[in-house]
Structure 1
Amino acid sequence: MATRSNPVSEAVRQYRYAFGAIFSFSLLINLLMLTGPLFMLQIYDRVLVSRHVETLAALFLLVIGLYAAMALLEVVRARILSRLAARLDNVAGRPAFLRTVLCSGMPADAGRDAVRDLDRVRQFVSSSAMAGLFDMPWLPIYLAIVYLIHPALGLLATAGAVVLLVIALVTDLVTRPLVRQAGSLSGERAAMVESGRRGAEALTGMGMEDAIGRVWDRLNARFVDATARAGDAVGLSAVLSKTFRLFLQSAMLALGAYLAIGGAISAGAMIAASIIMARGLQPVEMAVQNWRHMLGAHDAYSRLKLATSSAPLAAAVALPAPRAALQVDNLSVSPGEGAAATLTGVSLAVECGTALGVIGHSGSGKSTLARALVGVWPAQEGTVMLDGAPLPQWIARGEHVGYLPQDVELMDGTVAENIARFQDAAPDDAVVAAAMAAGCHALILSLPDGYGTRLGGGGRTLSAGQRQRIALARALYGDPFLLVLDEPNSNLDGHGDTALNRAILGAKARGAAVVVVAHRPSALSAMDRLALIENGALTECGPRDVVLKALMRRDKTAAAPRAEAADATGSGAGA
């Protein structure tokens, strides 16, 4: 069994040596940060006392070299962090994108903001706040040097560092829940914007703008309030930390002056100790000021790791193309973790060269079955198999499965790219063959640029019927063995219905296993068998005519008591 795969963790492990280099650079940078105070110490205690210009010149040249080295190390460290952020995006970008796009089928999926979380992590890694985190571990070095100057100054600096750390911890306790609440509300806002964009026609056509605007106002007010409270807490902490650090610097000068008056230290040591203490505490103050961004990046990183994790997989072997049957054994499906199953205990089989029609009332579980058959929604219990092999074992599953979802969405690209599923160097003849099989070749040729016509996001430049027919061609591309069509004729006219039935017959003729979810009777003419789904359970399954006759008998039996009741009511009224 392979270990659980996580591209984010793997990227961090892969570049751990780079983090080690940043850690080493940070040590050298913080040592070189002592250049200023030590130079001042030498000026006060040596140059001004000896009045040697040669000593001053030599020290100044040394300072130029040290500052140049520090600047070079700072640039290298910043570039390494920037490259690490870019590499993280390169490694985790595709899994984050796919998670964001594909989680739309799972209503409560936490990965719907994976791309935004990745952006947040990348921006933080390349920021100065990240560099400040690498400077914080060297605070003891600064405190040790202050102790060497005088223990009393060291104790005061240590007490100041403790106070700033307490401010940072209190800031964390106060702002963490607020930042998480703001992040959750931000996701709700984004989801509302997306749902509003998709339903813009209904909103405008029915005059719902004002009503939906009020809903947005309430949600946005909660988001703004949580963000403002988090900002207030961080702002107060930043002011306290900055004010305290300035006070501490003055207190260090006062104590240093007292010690200098007593002859315990020199005037240069007094000033140097104050500067060294201030430089050592600067990363702590920067951390307090950036605490909200740090928490946001930490939470985003945790969500990103969870969202891009994939379950452990057994060593896979390329299987021969399926050619026998689709088998479903005791299948139960839930729309999300913790949600009640919407499909339970379904078992059926579809042999090659046959078509199964799935019928039932709205909400009975038909679309849930269609999604489970192609792996959009994973099985909670039971298995979906092609030629006896569970669906996850098929490495190149996409080559063997064609799927037309109920809600058709085409991608921003050309018609040909959409039909070819955006495969690189897709053969033109295969694209045209799929379009002809779907009966939409003439339709495509009538578009401004034919197969090269570029579609907007979602294919909104086409009518609903045109999108559905091109999506059918996409499902048929490559002659997949399993063809699952969910309400494939919901937007088709009579000509489209004829083309659909012809496509289903063609798929059966080449040996495909076809499953069609349908409401309209016209889609059932090409079916060999029917399955009736009621309340998430399979209640009837058999030859088409047998199932239809059984349903007619059941409808007549159910209608008889209603007719008798109506007659009795009529007789009573007549009397």
Structure 2
Amino acid sequence: MGPQTPLRIALKKFRSILGTTVVFSFFINLLMFIGPLYMLQVYDRVLASRNETTLLMLTVIACALLAIYGILEFVRSRLLVRAGIQFDEVLAQPLFHRVLKGTLQTPGSNTAFALGDIDKLREFLTGNGLLAILDAPWVPIFLAVCFVFHPLLGFVATTGAVLIFILALANEFSTSKTLREAGMASQTASHFASTTLQNAEVIKALGMESALREKWQDKHRDVLSLQAKASDRAGVVMSMSKFVRMALQVFILGAGAYLVLQNEVSPGIMIAASIMMGRALAPVEQAVAHWKQVVAARSAYSRLDSLFDKVKADPERTDLPAPTGDVNVEGLVSVIPGTRNTVLNGVTFALAPGEVLAVIGPSGAGKSSLVRHLVGVWSAINGTVRLDGAELVHWDPERLAQYIGYLPQDVELFSGTISENIARFQLDRDEDVVAAAKKAGVHEMILELSDGYDTQIGEGGRQLSGGQRQRVGLARAMFGDPKMIVLDEPNSNLDSSGEEALMGAIQSMKESGSTVIFVSHKANLLALSEKVLVLNKGRVQAFGPTQQIMQPSAKSAQIDGNTHSQKQTALASNTTGALQGSNG
């Protein structure tokens, strides 16, 4: 037996309710004998005796029992729906956590589709597909009653049930693989479309619509082809099933009429056997009709089970005391998640609380990768990142986030108000929101918007300009006075006033004792740093006090002899000149 994942725990809780549902199903199926018994009594007793009182009493009793049948059906359905909601509540939080964690571990792995799998599984557990399975054990009982009426009637009903079951198996074997491939192709096409449309402006400006449309249509055609192939096969089976079902009614009535002519059964038994066969075939027919739902639920369970097995939940951590901002990186080695490409190799440096570090280097040097490790987004394959002596992995993620501020290179805001985004969607933090906005120098800009802090910014913050998004993102990073703030190219979209606000924010963070780490080559920002870390091809080329590292002679001596030395020497010379100019 495998480990107790949240999925299996949720299903275990559902089984307890399923037991109650089985009891209801027992009485519901028992009451299904009302129709055949009523017709049997009407044909063999009422019509023979022409007794109206008997007919009335039989009708009243049948209607009363059918009312009970209806109530039991309602309660069973309601019970399953409530169980489905409970199943979802148990599974939703751990599933979302694993989807987020899985996306970080393996970008582009389509783990987000697992959020739709929980809906497919819940719909099966609360729908007619499960009810058909619960009713299936009664099929032999109904068939046995047909044999009690007469062996010939039982033989016709059993033959029909076997044929329909065989057709259901044929449908499964002929379509399951194709439907599975179609589902995977559909997820791939949907993922491609959603990620492509995120860059709608680029597509329009560069005239890429036709090329990308063709690429999407190729993927979409694959989906349609597979679905059409599966539907064609299923259509053949469904057509044969309908033929068999209608032919069985003819055969059962024909066999019954023949037996009546032979005086072996009564007319009532003929009608009752026809109804009983219909009851026997109903679960089989429902299984055929809802087979796609069964297959979809089975595939969804398989994907969810695999996700919970592969992506483990974060273990509970002891609450550590609030950090002061002491940062220590030791021998950090990292690869891009989902690949074997090394991006950081043996990175080591340390910062005291309140120090400001500038990280510089050419494109592809590993600056953004280092930033992701500093905030705990990526996991190292070797080495450690420590905050106040404790490795980041030893912190509770939710608690650690209270002490870290992060502004990524590509600022992503979320649908909601500016206030909600700055507050990281925490409730009742208005004072802290305004305080963070003022420290980031964005308070006045926000007040100029139509609804101020309550301005809806749309999906991804599309209602704001690139510079406005970056400034709101800076306020979000400073929210709650974090002890370590990491900024990746924080001025890439800023105008002169925005840069002045950024410089003031960094100075404010420095004065408040927060450790600040930023990636930038702008001289005015480098002037605010106390230390500089130079990265090249994932390795540390230089680390130390800013003025010492940025001296042209010292810089040339440290990084000479590699393909980027001339660029770095020029950068050092230009930066030093800018620093001297600003000081002079």
* 1:230–1:292 CA contact under 8 A, matched in 2: no
1:32 aligns with 2:31: yes
What is the aligned partner in structure 1 of residue 455 from structure 2?
453
Alignment of 1:259-274 (within 5 A): 259-274=259-274
d(CA) in 1 for partners of 2:94, 2:291: 28
Cα distance per residue 1:300-333 (max 9 Å; x no partner)? 2333455467625544322111125223344344
Q: Which runs of 5+ in 2 are unaligned?
A: 567-584
Deviation at 1:145, TM superposition (A): 1.9
1:65 aligns with 2:64: yes
Matched position secondary structure for 2:358: strand
What is the aligned partner in structure 2 of residue 552 from structure 1?
556
* 2:541–2:559 CA contact under 8 A, matched in 1: no
What is the aligned partner in structure 1 of residue 369 from structure 2?
368
- Equivalenced residue count is 558
d(CA) in 1 for partners of 2:84, 2:194: 28
Deviation at 1:474, TM superposition (A): 0.3
How high is the sequence identity, in percent, across the aligned residues?
Answer: 41
Alignment of 1:443-522 (within 5 A): 443-522=445-524
> Could you tell me which of 530, 533, 538 is aligned with 1:531?
533
d(CA) in 2 for partners of 1:381, 1:239: 61
What is the aligned partner in structure 2 of residue 405 from structure 1?
408
Deviates more, 1:431-440 or 1:166-175: 166-175
Matched position secondary structure for 2:464: coil
* 2:103–2:110 CA contact under 8 A, matched in 1: no
What is the aligned partner in structure 2 of residue 172 from structure 1?
172
Equivalent AA in structure 1 for residue 28 of structure 2: I
Matched position secondary structure for 1:413: coil
d(CA) in 2 for partners of 1:482, 1:559: 33
Q: Which runs of 5+ in 1 are unaligned?
A: 563-575
1:541 aligns with 2:543: yes
What is the aligned partner in structure 1 of residue 183 from structure 2?
183
d(CA) in 2 for partners of 1:4, 1:530: 48
- Runs of 4+ with deviation above 6 angstroms: 559-562
Deviates more, 1:29-38 or 1:330-339: 330-339
* 1:4–1:311 CA contact under 8 A, matched in 2: no
Cα distance per residue 1:428-450 (max 9 Å; x no partner)? 33222211221212222222232
Matched position secondary structure for 1:61: helix
d(CA) in 2 for partners of 1:136, 1:379: 52
Cα distance per residue 1:258-292 (max 9 Å; x no partner)? 44444443332233223212221222222222222
d(CA) in 2 for partners of 1:110, 1:393: 28
d(CA) in 2 for partners of 1:519, 1:151: 91
Equivalent AA in structure 2 for residue 80 of structure 1: L
* 2:559–2:565 CA contact under 8 A, matched in 1: no
Alignment of 1:142-221 (within 5 A): 142-221=142-221
* 2:325–2:484 CA contact under 8 A, matched in 1: no
* 1:327–1:349 CA contact under 8 A, matched in 2: yes
Equivalent AA in structure 1 for residue 363 of structure 2: S
| Residues 26 and 259 of structure 1, relative CA distance in 2, 3 Å threshold | same
Matched position secondary structure for 1:379: coil
| Residues 559 and 163 of structure 1, relative CA distance in 2, 3 Å threshold | closer
* 2:128–2:290 CA contact under 8 A, matched in 1: no
Cα distance per residue 1:241-272 (max 9 Å; x no partner)? 22222223333334444444444433322332
d(CA) in 1 for partners of 2:5, 2:515: 33
* 1:110–1:307 CA contact under 8 A, matched in 2: no
Deviation at 1:99, TM superposition (A): 5.6
* 2:94–2:313 CA contact under 8 A, matched in 1: no
Matched position secondary structure for 2:121: helix
Matched position secondary structure for 1:346: strand
Alignment of 1:41-440 (within 5 A): 41-96=40-95, 105=104, 106-307=106-307, 311=312, 314-337=315-338, 339-395=340-396, 396-426=399-429, 428-440=430-442
Deviates more, 1:531-540 or 1:56-65: 531-540
* 1:99–1:112 CA contact under 8 A, matched in 2: no
| Residues 324 and 45 of structure 1, relative CA distance in 2, 3 Å threshold | same
Deviation at 1:374, TM superposition (A): 1.8
Deviates more, 1:317-326 or 1:344-353: 344-353
What is the aligned partner in structure 1 of residue 577 from structure 2?
none
* 1:253–1:271 CA contact under 8 A, matched in 2: yes
Matched position secondary structure for 2:281: helix
| Residues 476 and 324 of structure 1, relative CA distance in 2, 3 Å threshold | closer
* 2:146–2:277 CA contact under 8 A, matched in 1: yes
Deviates more, 1:510-519 or 1:98-107: 98-107
Deviates more, 1:70-79 or 1:551-560: 551-560
Equivalent AA in structure 1 for residue 409 of structure 2: Q
Deviates more, 1:98-107 or 1:33-42: 98-107
| Residues 246 and 331 of structure 1, relative CA distance in 2, 3 Å threshold | farther
d(CA) in 1 for partners of 2:438, 2:401: 21
Deviation at 1:408, TM superposition (A): 0.7
Deviation at 1:533, TM superposition (A): 3.2
Deviation at 1:492, TM superposition (A): 1.5
| Residues 258 and 471 of structure 1, relative CA distance in 2, 3 Å threshold | same
Equivalent AA in structure 1 for residue 556 of structure 2: M
Equivalent AA in structure 1 for residue 71 of structure 2: L
Cα distance per residue 1:143-165 (max 9 Å; x no partner)? 22223223443344334333322
Equivalent AA in structure 2 for residue 353 of structure 1: G
Deviation at 1:293, TM superposition (A): 2.5
**TM-score, with structure 1 as normaliser:** 0.88
* 2:326–2:515 CA contact under 8 A, matched in 1: yes
* 1:238–1:285 CA contact under 8 A, matched in 2: no
d(CA) in 2 for partners of 1:103, 1:201: 29
Matched position secondary structure for 1:320: coil
* 2:14–2:87 CA contact under 8 A, matched in 1: no
Equivalent AA in structure 2 for residue 400 of structure 1: Y
* 1:316–1:393 CA contact under 8 A, matched in 2: yes
d(CA) in 2 for partners of 1:514, 1:221: 51
d(CA) in 1 for partners of 2:19, 2:436: 54
Deviation at 1:475, TM superposition (A): 0.5
Deviates more, 1:509-518 or 1:475-484: 509-518
**TM-score, with structure 2 as normaliser:** 0.87
What is the aligned partner in structure 1 of residue 579 from structure 2?
none
d(CA) in 1 for partners of 2:385, 2:277: 66
* 1:110–1:303 CA contact under 8 A, matched in 2: no
Equivalent AA in structure 1 for residue 386 of structure 2: M
d(CA) in 2 for partners of 1:26, 1:367: 59
Cα distance per residue 1:525-552 (max 9 Å; x no partner)? 2233333333344444333344445543
* 1:459–1:467 CA contact under 8 A, matched in 2: yes
Deviation at 1:409, TM superposition (A): 1.4
d(CA) in 2 for partners of 1:337, 1:407: 21
| Residues 317 and 104 of structure 1, relative CA distance in 2, 3 Å threshold | closer
d(CA) in 2 for partners of 1:534, 1:157: 78
| Residues 520 and 255 of structure 1, relative CA distance in 2, 3 Å threshold | farther
Equivalent AA in structure 2 for residue 421 of structure 1: R
What is the aligned partner in structure 2 of residue 19 from structure 1?
18
* 1:437–1:506 CA contact under 8 A, matched in 2: yes
Deviation at 1:189, TM superposition (A): 2.7
Equivalent AA in structure 2 for residue 552 of structure 1: S
d(CA) in 2 for partners of 1:340, 1:242: 57
Cα distance per residue 1:87-130 (max 9 Å; x no partner)? 33444445555666676554233421233323333444443333
* 2:541–2:558 CA contact under 8 A, matched in 1: no
